[in-house]
Each structure stands twice: as C-alpha cells, then as structure tokens.
Amino acid sequence: MTARNVSLTDNLMKFVDLQVQTGRHQDASQVVEEALRRYADDIATEAAQIRAVRDHIEDGRRAIADGNFRLVAGEVESAALLARLTRRRHAE
C-alpha cells in the first residue's frame, strides 16, 4: 500500500482522533479509508441519480416529439397532475 500524507483541519483531526479513541477504528488510516469509501459510494449514487434524471428527460423529449403529451394550465390542473404523479409514484 502506498503511503500518503494529507493535511486535515483541526476539526477533522479531532474527529479522526475521536473515532480511534472510541474504538470505532484501530487507527487514523482506517477512519480515512472508510470516509473515502463512503465518499466514493456517494459519488456513484449521485452519478446514477443524474443518469436517471437524464433518462427521464430524454423520455419526455421523445414523448413530446411523438405528440404524446398534455398541456397543463393553471393551479387546478397543476395540482391534479401532481396528485396523479404522486399516486403513480406510490404505486410503483
């Protein structure tokens, strides 16, 4: 394993020390490794969410191009659309 030196703020250093003192981790390296694993997971989750949003946008664009859409005007129609989408989401 390659060693690296990193600089931490005082608050982060206190956090790392506390994790070791409380026995959650054996040493500072384990704290940093877990933090980086969690960060990598967060980035992967974010990327998947962005892909999902882009896919939905593309689906919407295709629907519009195919004429498969409905115009919604005003608060009453907007509220009704939101209610339908909410019901559909809960049914999934």
Distances 57 to 19, 43, 72, 81, 84 between C-alpha atoms, Å:
43, 21, 18, 17, 19
Q: What contacts 63, CB < 8 A, 6 or more positions away?
A: 69
Per-residue pLDDT band for 92 (boundaries 50, 70, 90) equals confident
| Cα 82 to Cα 35, 52, 57, 65, distances in angstroms | 38, 20, 17, 23
**18-52 confidence digits (pLDDT tens):** 999 999 999 999 999 999 999 999 999 999 999 99
Q: Does 24 or 70 have the greater pLDDT score?
A: 24
pLDDT of residue 36: 97
pTM: 0.69
Q: Which residue has the higher pLDDT, 55 or 71?
A: 55
